[in-house]
């Protein structure tokens, strides 16, 4: 998934519970909102926002249909639509028969994560797992390719040295690794991919245009680590593989966190842009890169302003409407406009409120969990994060703004999921609708924002109707991409004939 540099510090625990919000020491001025032009302006801003963000059934249908159409256009030819529809080269998914010790490396931000998993075949499945997270020094994010990959390989080597107990490498085997690499790559096979460009604050020299798997394999060799990459995967693809290992009905995976993306299982004969591609199963996983979708989305002046000031104007519009990186910022922009009406928060506009991204999605999520009469937690967050002193009425208005933006985001995400399911059903009659189909979900936004999650489910139910939607199971798959990468390393192992 593509995200701007500012999102490198990913939203980990995307929401904090109300019990962890410390009450601020201030006593808010309980001045009533003045009557007159200011109130009219605030009401007008809120009414207009709610109208422009509305997602009634016809809007959701249009978004779902457009998603399905853009998927087909992206599969027909590279550049055929906003959706890149990238071939993952994952033709062999885990079956449950996999045995042995496998590693995973997840590189997607200012930390990298290493994981090992001992697989025991169909009877024992996952016997044990262990994981560690390593921070990447700032200077390596703008250093040379060799320096960065040597640091990662060194971390991997130290982690591998700690193998013990339930983790046993079978005799005669080298260690194999699933490499989750969440930067733009042009994948050329299951175990190779050319880096297009670094994002998320990385400016490493000497890697663009090179095979990132070769870079890592060479670094591991320099570190004296007998390990080789057998699968290069996107984090969304890893989530699908990890979930499908436990539940064969998983057909789609979606990440809703700081950024967003979706992938799904596609028939190889339904990919016109790759007519020669064959696989034993007749299927592969397609990485949609759906954050770039833009057709038919209900947008406001606040979305357009945020997009124009972003580092990638005109791009990733769906992501900017539904993902955790942006929801809080949209709310801040709306609240700032209301503050400029000179009546919501008094006559002055706090400097903090004028600072982009000072209100983040964890803040709007936490505010929505406040059910107290005086909305004290809402008042504390507004004061601590945006410098706003507020009365109860002002807090209620802010909550309406939060709910409007979260509702639009959740319902649009739900429509996107239905669009993927519609496309699959059209090409694989009876394979999706009418039978149990699982959508694996990961990411802090989905996991930690109950209102957002509820709005997403509501949209799916409205679009499909009660009978069909009962068969569509949306399941949380926490941290699925890490173990999924290890499982894909196993499914594509050169030792798989031993399983």
Measured at the alpha carbon of residue 424, what is the angle toward residues 418 and 428, in degrees to the nearest 5? 145
235 is catalytic: yes
Closest CA to 421 of 224, 249, 192, 200: 249
- The DSSP output letter for 170 is P
Task: Count other Cβ atoms within 10 Å, centred on residue 98.
Answer: 26
What three-state secondary structure class fits 349? Answer: coil
- CB-based burial, 12-24: b 16+ in 10 Å, e otherwise: eebbeebeebeeb
Distance CA 75, CA 30 (A): 58
Measured at the alpha carbon of residue 437, what is the angle toward residues 435 and 439, in degrees to the nearest 5? 165
Please tell me which residue in 191, 211, 235, 370 is annotated as part of the active site.
235
200 is catalytic: yes
| Chain centre to alpha carbon of residue 65 | 22
Distance CA 94, CA 199 (A): 30
What three-state secondary structure class fits 84? Answer: coil
Closest CA to 51 of 62, 39, 43: 43
What single string gives the DSSP state of each residue in 97-162? --EEEEEEEEESSSEEEEEEEEEEHHHH-EEEEEEEEEEPPGGGGGSBHHHHHHHHHHHHHHHHHT
Tell me the pairing of strands 437-442 and 192-195.
unpaired
User: What is the residue whose two structure tokens read 């124009």?
Assistant: 308
Query: Is the alpha carbon torsion for 421, 423, 425, 428 positive or negative?
Result: negative
Distance CA 281, CA 301 (A): 47
Asked if residues 406 and 452 have their Cβ atoms less than 8 Å apart, the reply is yes
Tell me the pairing of strands 437-442 and 250-256.
parallel
Task: Count other Cβ atoms within 10 Å, centred on residue 343.
Answer: 22
Which tokens go with 274?
């790759």
User: What is the residue whose two structure tokens read 């005086």?
Assistant: 374
Please tell me which residue in 84, 99, 200, 423 is annotated as part of the active site.
200
Tell me how far apart the terminal alpha carbons of the chain are, to the nearest angstrom.
33
CA-CA distances (angstroms) from residue 489 to 162, 428, 486? 20, 28, 5
| Chain centre to alpha carbon of residue 414 | 14
Residues belonging to the active site? 200, 235
């Amino acid at each position: 998934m593509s995200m701007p540099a500012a999102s490198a510090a990913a939203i980990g625990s995307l929401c904090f519970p109300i019990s962890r919000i410390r009450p601020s020491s201030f006593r808010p001025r309980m001045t009533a909102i003045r009557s007159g032009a200011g109130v009219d302006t605030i009401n007008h801003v809120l009414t207009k926002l709610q109208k422009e963000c509305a997602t009634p059934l016809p809007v959701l249908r249009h978004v779902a249909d457009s998603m399905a159409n853009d998927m087909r256009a992206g599969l027909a030819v590279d550049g055929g639509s906003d959706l890149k529809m990238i071939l993952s080269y994952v033709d062999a998914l885990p079956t449950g028969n996999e045995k042995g010790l496998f590693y995973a490396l997840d590189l997607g931000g200012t930390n990298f994560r290493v994981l090992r998993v001992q697989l025991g075949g169909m009877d024992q499945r996952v016997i044990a797992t262990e994981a560690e997270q390593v921070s990447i020094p700032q200077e390596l994010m703008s250093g040379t390719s060799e320096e960065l990959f040597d640091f990662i390989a060194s971390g991997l080597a130290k982690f591998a040295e700690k193998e013990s107990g339930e983790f046993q490498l079978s005799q005669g085997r080298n260690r194999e690794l699933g490499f989750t690499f969440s930067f733009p790559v042009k994948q050329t096979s299951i175990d190779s991919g050319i880096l297009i460009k670094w994002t998320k604050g990385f400016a490493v020299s000497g890697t663009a245009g090179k095979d990132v798997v070769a870079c890592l394999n060479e670094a591991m060799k320099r570190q004296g680590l007998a390990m080789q990459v057998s699968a290069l995967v996107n984090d969304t693809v890893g989530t699908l593989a990890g979930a499908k290992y436990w539940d064969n009905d998983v057909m789609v995976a979606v990440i809703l966190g700081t950024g967003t993306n979706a992938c799904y299982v596609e028939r190889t004969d339904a990919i016109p842009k790759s007519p020669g591609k064959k696989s034993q199963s007749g299927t592969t996983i397609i990485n949609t890169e759906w954050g770039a979708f833009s057709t038919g989305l209900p947008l406001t002046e606040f979305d357009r302003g945020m997009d124009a000031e972003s580092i990638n104007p005109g791009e990733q519009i769906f992501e900017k409407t539904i993902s955790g990186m942006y929801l809080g910022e949209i709310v801040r922009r709306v609240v700032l406009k209301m503050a400029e009406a000179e009546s919501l928060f008094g006559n002055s506009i706090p400097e903090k409120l004028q600072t982009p991204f000072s209100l983040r999605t964890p803040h709007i999520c936490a505010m929505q969990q406040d059910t107290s009469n005086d909305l004290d937690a809402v008042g504390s967050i507004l004061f601590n994060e945006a410098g706003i002193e507020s009365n109860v009425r002002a807090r209620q208005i802010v909550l309406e703004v939060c709910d409007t933006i979260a509702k639009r985001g959740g319902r649009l995400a739900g429509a996107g999921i239905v669009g993927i399911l519609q496309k699959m059903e059209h090409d694989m009659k009876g394979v999706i609708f009418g039978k149990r189909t699982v959508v694996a979900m990961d990411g802090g936004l989905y996991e930690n924002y109950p209102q957002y999650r509820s709005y997403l489910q509501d949209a799916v139910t409205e679009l499909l109707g009660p009978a069909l939607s009962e068969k569509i199971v949306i399941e949380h798959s926490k941290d699925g991409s890490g173990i999924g990468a290890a499982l894909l390393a196993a499914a594509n192992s050169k030792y798989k004939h031993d399983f």
